[in-house]
Amino acid sequence: MIEDCLGHCALVAGDISFNVEGLRTGFWQLTIDGLSWGAIYALVAVGYTLVFGVLRLINFAHSEIFMLGMFGAYFTLDMVLGFAPSGNAYSKGIFLTVVYLSIAMIVAMLVSGTAAMGLELVAYRPLRRRNAKSLAFLITAIGMSFVLQEFVHFVLPQLVKGYGGSNAQQPIILVVPKTQFTVFGATVSNVTLVIVASACLFAALVDLTINRTKFGRGIRAVAQDPSTATLMGVSRERIIVLTFLIGGLLAGAAALLYTLKVPQGIIYSGGFLLGIKAFSAAVLGGIGNLRGALLGGLLLGVMENYGQAVFGTQWRDVVAFVLLVVVLLFRPTGILGESLGKARV
Amino acid sequence: MRDRVTRSAVVIGAVGLVVIGLAGCTQSPPSDSASQSNLKIVERTPIDANGKEIKPPDVSAAVSPAGDGKATCPPLSIAMAGALTGPDAQLGINIRDGVQLAVDKHNAANPGCQIQLKTFDTEGDPQKATQVAPQIVDDASIVGLVGPGFSGETDATGNTFNQAGLVAATASATNVTLSQKGWRTFFRGLGNDGSQGVAVANYLKNTLSAKKVCVVDDSTAYGAGLGKVMRDTLGPVAQGNCNISVKKGDKDFSAAVTQVKTAAPDAIFYSGYYAEAAPFVQQLHDGGVTATFVSGDGTKDPEFVKQAGAASKDAILSCPCSPAPAAFADEYTKKFNQPPSTYSTEGYDLGTIFVTGIDSGATTRPQLLDFVRGYNGPGVGRQYQWTDTGELTNTLIWIYKVQ
């Protein structure tokens, strides 16, 4: 990544622009496009932040949970619902499209949720049993990220013909982006609308779950003080599995939304950069803090879009990380602070 | 508590449905048909440096790797290095299969001279290639190398092969500077980005009469290099306000699409690879841009059409690579169960030149290097003869179209 960036920077350093005019004229369009990316980052970021809150673990394999969700959604559309991939858009009418996409989303959520729980059981639980150091968890997380990527890259093509491998899946497109209405001269497409609306809904749901339900109270209790929570009758192991499940479900939902936006993005490495961005979003908002992750995601999506308007498209990722560094310089615990267990959540 | 969980699960599902329902309501009636598209990349014509259409070369006299069938040689191998896995693997696989076909034909016809093809995967990554290069050099049985595949990795490893005196003939690396590094062992089996960029830019200007062209590059060694030649040759036709650099790996081009829309060009030249070109052309199409989409050899791959679908229709793709003549295509398709594609002919021709050299008695690295330097003969793609720097004396750029 860094290597990539350095080589890249050396090559295009001459091309860096400073186009404030572009930002001014395209402000609303950039905001809206940025929000739709931010919404996806936010949903993925929740997975990082919840797991960190409960376990103090950065689950780097979360980006691959997201990637598996994309494959789950694709599998549903292709094998279960019988859409042959063609790269062209299907026209099934509004109602059927809705039904198909809903089914795909639910399956994607289930795939990601199951994968996240499986990851917990296979990779992290044995370590916890043996009281491993936090560094061991971190290395395991990075390792599992590679295991899952290479599984889809090399093993999946052997198991299911036409899946995984080096190329992206041939897209199945159910929704063609069409402009629905304009706000201050910026066009809002149906895809953007779905992404932002669904993301808001899921954000509200997860917020309610954490803050209002008994489970949520359990999660907050474990985050705050694991041993006291256990003494009070909270099953720590169960809470941990549940935390992974919630993160996975949201990653699956984000995966389907992402494939609406980028139908060509279903590839083994497709979660990597997005995962890093989502993780940054979680840190930006204050890792461990649910609302922080949501806010951080939206902010990162919008800011990097402004950034690419000012400095040029190729600087988008750089802008995102510079923003992260700047915010952490002034607020080392992120915008809303790191507290899943404390009053802030 | 369990009840509550079940209930919330149901609620989540139901609400999800409703949201997508809302979104669906806003969807306009789709226009594209859902049928499988039969789009293909079809060769149109070769062009010269001024962009003028010229007659295809006569390749009926192509040298066959089978030779006279009486060749004898010690057990030797030739190597192929390139991306065999990773996002751009298809190009590497095309080259490997081309070389493999030449070697197999040779071995079948010459029982007294069995040559082995050893393949090395670089994933197209310069860093991986530098790890692979010493393995190739250290394998004493290898007398010649077809590869590396991409410009970046060739740049990173060229000196290693030069010092080892191992002939490294690339079937696909087209960055101009590679032949200017003073490597005695570097040979290029096709025209470079300079000749491609100049020819295509002139083709756009003179033959297609484009008045305004947006040049978008992907900031890689290949993309930025080709993009620069395009911009320089197009001159004022290349619009300053839509000279865009994106990044390899990007999947969202909304900013670039907006910029292109504002500029309203006659044509867009994308200087990069198919993995990004496919979503880009799709997003241009969805954004209502109707300008002709033009791209170079990095995009000329069936995957581009597969991924972009109807959006890729009428796209013009240029390539210094030659289309496969029918007889060669048949043999290739029979063997590998897929038709030859970009760089397959170059891989086959370079493999043929190596085995012809070995048959003629050039069985050591210095001998084979000398053989290739002095070579002059027709292949299935074009005439092969090299200058001192390893460029072809006669390059040819082909125009392809998705239809």
Task: Give B322-347 as a DSSP string.
Answer: PPPPHHHHHHHHHHHSS---TTHHHH
Could you tell me which residues come within 8 angstroms of residue B85 by beta carbon, excluding any fewer than 6 positions away? A153, A154, A166, B121, B123
Q: How far, in Å, CA of B122 to CA of B130, rounded?
A: 9
Asked whether residue B58 is domain-assigned, the answer is no
Per the model's pLDDT, the better-predicted residue between A30 and A38 turns out to be: A38
Contacts of A97 in chain B (CB under 8 A): 24, 27
The DSSP code sequence of B176-207 is GGGGGS--TTEEESS--HHHHHHHHHHIIIII
Nearest in space to A100 (alpha carbons), one of A84, A77, A75, A70: A77
Q: Which of B16, B27, B37 sits opposite A106 (nearest CB)?
A: B16
B177 touches A: beta carbon within 8 Å: no
Residues of chain B with pLDDT under 50: 1-2, 17, 19-36
Mean pLDDT for A303-332 is 87
Of B162, B119, B173, B168, residue with least CA distance to B143: B168
The domain boundary, picked from B287, B319, B351, lies at: B319
* Closest listed residue to residue A197, CA positions, set A92, A98, A309, A276: A98
Using CB atoms within 10 Å of the CB of residue B254, give its burial: 0 to 12 exposed, 13 to 18 middle, 19+ buried. Answer: buried
Residue type for A177, please?
A: P
Chain A residues closer than 8 Å to B121 by CB: none
- Which class does domain A25-330 fall in? mainly alpha
Q: Give yes or no: residues B46 and B188 share one domain.
A: no
What per-residue confidence (pLDDT) applies to A162? 84
pTM score:
0.78
- Judge whether B251 and B276 are in contact, CB under 8 Å: yes
In contact, A294 and A336? CB cutoff 8 Å: no
Residues 170-189, chain A, touching B (beta carbon < 8 A): 170-171, 173, 175-178, 180
Rounded Cα gap, residues B12 and A206, in angstroms: 10
- Residues B242, B183 share a domain: no
Nearest to A149 by CA among A106, A107, A115, A104: A115
B69 in a structural domain: no
CB contact under 8 A, B13 and A167: no
Look at residues B283, B326, B325, B281 and name the one whose alpha carbon lies nearest to residue B299. B281
B207 and B180 part of one domain: no
DSSP B297: T
Residue B170: phi, psi to the nearest 5?
-90, 140
Q: Do B326 and B184 fall into the same domain?
A: yes
Question: Based on the domain organization, do B208 and B315 belong to the same domain?
Answer: yes
Task: Tell me the one-letter amino acid at B339.
Answer: P
Query: Both tokens of residue A239?
Result: 């809470």
Same structural domain, B163 and B226:
no
User: Hey, is the C-beta of B85 within 8 angstroms of any chain A C-beta?
Assistant: yes
**Contacting residues of B for A98, CB less than 8 Å apart:** 17, 20-21, 23-24
Residue ranges of A 39-68 with Cβ closer than 8 A to chain B: none
Residue ranges of A 223-242 with Cβ closer than 8 A to chain B? none
**Contact predicate B173/B148, CB 8 Å:** yes
Q: Are residue B214 and residue B307 in the same domain, yes or no?
A: yes
Residue that wins the pLDDT comparison between B288 and A257: A257
> Which of B157, B65, B91 is closest to B342 using CA atoms?
B91
Tell me, yes or no, whether B86 and B188 share the same domain.
Answer: yes
Interface touch A91/B33, C-beta < 8 Å: yes
Among candidates A305, A264, A21, which has minimal Cα distance to B262?
A21
Structural domain range at position B131? 76-192+322-381
Burial classification of residue B98, based on how many CB atoms lie within 10 Å of its CB (0-12 exposed, 13-18 middle, 19 or more buried)? buried
Q: Is A319 helix (H, G, I), strand (E, B) or coil?
A: helix
Whether residue A263 and residue B8 make contact (CB cut-off 8 A), yes or no, is no
Q: Taking the CA of residue A176 as centre, how many other CA atoms within 13 Å lie in the half-sphere pointing to its CB?
A: 25
pLDDT at B142: 95
Asked whether residue B99 is assigned to any structural domain, the reply reads: yes
Is residue B280 in a domain?
yes
Q: Is residue B392 part of a domain?
A: no
Nearest-Cα residue of chain B relative to residue A262? B251
Chain B, 28 to 57: residues with Cβ < 8 Å from chain A are: 28-37
Residue B246 and residue B285 in one domain: yes
Residue A144 dihedral angles phi and psi, to the nearest 5°: -65, -35
B250 and B204 in one domain? yes
Find, among B322, B316, B324, B323, the residue nearest to B299 by Cα: B316
CB–CB contact A264 B16 (8 Å): no
Q: Does B19 touch chain A (CB under 8 A)?
A: yes
Q: Give Cα B310 distance to the centre of its chain.
A: 22
pLDDT score of B168: 96
Among the candidates B319, B345, B370, a domain finishes at B319
Question: Which range has highest mean pLDDT (A8-17, A35-44, B23-32, B43-52)?
Answer: A35-44
Distance from CA of B246 to the nearest CA of A (A): 5
Please name which of A200, A195, A207, A197 lies closest in space to residue A50, comparing C-alpha atoms: A207
Handedness of CA A138, A142, A145, A147 (dihedral sign): negative
Q: Is the dihedral of CA A130, A135, A139, A141 positive or negative?
A: positive
Q: Mind telling me how many Å the CA of A170 is from chain B's nearest CA?
A: 5
Residues B315 and B327 in one domain: no
User: 3-state DSSP call for residue B294?
Assistant: strand
Query: Does B308 touch chain A if contact means CB atoms closer than 8 Å?
Result: yes
How many A×B Cβ pairs under 8 Å? 183
Are the Cβ atoms of A213 and B8 closer than 8 angstroms?
A: yes
Please check whether residues B301 and B335 belong to one and the same domain. Answer: no
Measured between beta carbons, the chain A residues lying within 8 angstroms of B23 are 98, 175, 190, 193-194, 197-198
Q: What is the mean pLDDT of residues A104-129?
A: 94
Whether residue B25 lies within 8 A of chain A, CB to CB, comes out as yes
A93 → chain B, closest CA residue: B29
For residue B364, is it left (φ>0), alpha (ψ between -120 and 50) or beta? beta
The verdict on a CB contact (< 8 Å) between A261 and B13 is: no
Tokens representing residue B238 in the block: 């290349």
Give the mean pLDDT of A116-130: 93
**Pair A90, A173: CB distance under 8 Å:** yes
Confidence of residue A115 (pLDDT cuts 50, 70, 90): very high
Rg (CA), chain B: 24
| Separation CA A63–CA A70 (nearest Å) | 11
DSSP H stretches of helix in B188-288:
193-202, 221-234, 254-263, 274-286
pLDDT of residue A320: 87
Q: How far apart are CA A139 and CA A142, in angstroms?
A: 5
Q: How far is CA B138 from CA A258, A291, B166, B333, in A?
A: 46, 57, 11, 34
Structure tokens at A283: 């840190």
Burial of A251 (0-12, 13-18, 19+ CB in 10 A): buried
With contacts defined as CB-CB under 8 Å, which chain A residues touch B251?
Answer: 262, 264-265
Residue B208 lies in a domain: yes
Specify if B33 maps to a domain.
no
- Arithmetic mean of pLDDT, A106-129: 94
Put simply, the answer to whether A312 touches B245 (Cβ < 8 Å) is yes
| pLDDT number for residue B11 | 54
- Strands B316-319 and B397-402: what pairing? antiparallel
- Indicate which CATH number applies to the domain containing B220: 3.40.50.2300
Per-residue pLDDT tens over the stretch A147-199: 999 999 989 988 988 888 878 888 888 888 888 888 888 888 889 999 999 99
Instruction: Give domain limits for chain A.
Output: 25-330
The three-state secondary structure class of A2 is helix
- A106 with B13: CB under 8 angstroms? yes
| Total domains present in chain B | 2
- What's the whole-number mean pLDDT along residues A279-301? 92
The secondary structure element, H or E, covering residue B4 is helix B2-25
Whether B339 and B332 have beta carbons less than 8 Å apart is answered as: yes
Q: CB distance B307–A201 less than 8 Å?
A: no
Residues A98 and B20: beta-carbon distance below 8 Å: yes
Average pLDDT, chain A: 87
Q: What is the pLDDT of residues B13-52, one digit of tens each?
A: 555 545 444 444 443 333 344 344 688 888 888 988 888 8
The percent of chain B in helix, strand and coil, each rounded to the nearest 5, is 45, 15, 40
